[in-house]
A and B are shown apart, each in its own frame.
Chain A
């Protein structure tokens, strides 16, 4: 990595991990934060970046981004200000063998853009039957274990998987959904799905799986993270568990902060998500859970090509390109909710890093200089051409969003400049 001495001056430094929100210059050398405010003794900047009118914050940490092709998606990540991302194991093939994880780690390091943190498969082939070699996978670079979108139907196997992960102190991430209750479902089981004749996924599919996961986690003592919650009922269960002192975390996909079942309109397959977009009251509950810090935000970036979307709604693939929209959609939510930037950015920097247990999301002196510099007021139109990801499908196509990344540093090296 390039380790030029950099000075980012005249910006507004917003660093949630350290409670900083002030006009402060940032000094970087040797790939790390060298000083804040005043230059360290003997500092000579090889490059001075003027950040007047811009926000300087830690590089964003994305709790869930699917990569597909590594290079374009990592380019998209840094263009969106994301410097660390966790990659779920449901790639093809799934991340259930150390060799696959090593290759992913090596290839993403060679590309040298955002830092990639693989999530290993909890079970072989994500089939929910035999435990994956978690210890070997962790040695290869996995920072947690999950089933991605798949459920472990057999609760005894889920119990064993948690016990085994807890043995080594590994975190388990689950997207809670009961397979039986969600069977054939493609949309929230509510008035829109009923009207359109789409098979519904009831909220109880999520709340029952959430309750099961929480009980088993309490029983085994495993460190549990619940991914992409979509319902008020699941949020209530997590809140109650936290109030009871349990160490559990959760996140919400950024689309679910803004959209609801109504956005399906007339079968818009861009609004097909997994978990589904739910009712407006569920969305409001997700927004307040994120506002009060119960949940972090992930992009749930899922590049889907035209072949996967130009199909009848139920046959279309779920998911949307999102890593480049994580920042603008978080800013939009913060503005609408009248939340201070410091609080909003925590959900996509320090909170996410804490959940992943990685050293990121902080601009304290000595930390790696993973930095995002953005213009909060610059608006841009979401078009297939303006997105670097190979996934061009998002419900936000054609929308004007505020918040444009100008510069992204990973380890003090400029990896994106726009």
Chain B
């Protein structure tokens, strides 16, 4: 089965998931992002790569922050950006996902940036476009259910490469609610493809997916032993609705067992970096002293995110 995001020549036509992306494709995106990062520092922050193209941000699930970063990235590429908050419009009137897509294609969309609560929704759209013979319309997955958030995964890789240069000797811990995290899945695929020495999935059994070790990670339940000798610590957001119930007894107990405090972080390598996809729950998964401390690279992640999203959109539009 051909990877649905690559065309017959192996070039990227959609970005749906990091799973199955060749290492060279990932590296090419990161290298391109590096050149776009300079654009963000110029007086005139625009390049004409997507001039005349229409990028539709189609968010079936609310996310002001992610949508904004895509909007900024598209505008810096000189695209026309149209934001659709679908949660409040057509689907509320009973229109199906693919009806919405058909309508936007009729409006001459060149690219869809899609967020959806259901895992696989961007794949469905990409498959639909293929059946319509419209492979000139590109899909960027901006987060689908628990499945994937590939631009977040790529910006995390960009951040790691920025601080650590190489992946091959790195030990990375991903801590928290991996079960519900599309970021964790994207990071794991990216890290294993880029050859990280060890990826540790850390959390209570209730927050780790079944057979997650099949994705090439080592499962750890004890944060302190898992963080030892780590080069990179990626903390995940714990959603409010998961804090009290059958998954966890309380936020307080979670913080005691899995919260990243200065004392715990001291067990990692002295030059370890701390990442978080945001938005953070201070005092739940991460202590403010760590979040605001010298090892945190959480705000640079956001800056790199724009360059990475510019790179993804630029590369797709060129293929």
Contact = CB atoms under 8 A, between A and B. Distances in A.
A145 interface: no
Contacts of A267: 119-120, 123-124
Interface string A257-272: 0000000011101000
Interface string B146-179: 1110000000000000000000000000000000
A400 interface: no
B185 A312 contact: no
Interface in A300-322: 307, 310-315
A197 B1 contact: no
B210 A189 contact: yes
B155 to A, nearest CB: 19
12 contacts: A193-B209, A194-B211, A194-B212, A195-B19, A197-B119, A198-B146, A200-B210, A202-B210, A267-B120, A310-B124, A313-B118, A313-B120
Contact of A312 (B16, B116, B215): B116
Size class of the B contact interface (CB-based, 8 Å):
20 to 34
Interface string B201-219: 0000000011110110000
Contacts of B128: 310
A307 B123 contact: no
B200 interface: no
B96 A310 contact: yes
Given A266-B1, A310-B98, A311-B124, A194 B119 contact: no
B118 A314 contact: yes
A196 interface: yes
Interface in B1-20: 1, 4, 16, 19
A267 B17 CA distance: 12
* Residue of A191, A311, A312, A313 with most partner-chain B CB within 10 A: A312
Contacts of B215: 191, 194-195
Contacts of B212: 194
A134 B128 CA distance: 47
Given A195-B19, A197-B147, A197-B182, A190 B211 contact: yes
A202 B211 CA distance: 12
Contacts, number: 74
4 nearest A-B residue pairs (beta carbon): A197-B146, A267-B120, A197-B147, A312-B118
Interface string A22-52: 0000000000000000000000000000000
Nearest to B148: A197
Given A191-B211, A267-B119, A311-B124, 19 more contacts: A195-B185, A196-B119, A197-B145, A197-B148, A197-B185, A198-B145, A198-B146, A198-B147, A265-B1, A267-B124, A269-B124, A310-B98, A310-B128, A311-B96, A312-B97, A312-B121, A312-B144, A313-B120, A315-B118
A312 B120 contact: yes
A318 to B, nearest CB: 15
Contact of A311 (B19, B97, B182, B211): B97
Q: Majority SS of interface residues in chain A? A: loop
A178 to B, nearest CB: 15
Interface of B: 1, 4, 16, 19, 96-98, 116, 118-121, 123-124, 128, 144-148, 182, 185, 209-212, 214-215
Contacts of B144: 197, 312
B210 A193 contact: yes
A200 B209 CA distance: 9
Nearest to B117: A312
B4 A194 contact: no
Contacts of A202: 210
A278 to B, nearest CB: 12
B119 A191 contact: no
A265 B210 CA distance: 18
B18 to A, nearest CB: 12
Contact of B214 (A191, A197, A307, A314): A191
Contacts of A191: 210-211, 214-215
* Residue of B123, B144, B182, B215 with most partner-chain A CB within 10 A: B123
B148 to A, nearest CB: 7
A307 B95 CA distance: 11
Contacts of B123: 266-267
A259 B248 CA distance: 36
A3 to B, nearest CB: 50
Nearest to B209: A194
B113 to A, nearest CB: 17
A310 B116 CA distance: 15
B208 to A, nearest CB: 9
Nearest to A269: B124
B211 A196 contact: no
Nearest to B120: A267
A356 B121 CA distance: 41
A110 to B, nearest CB: 36
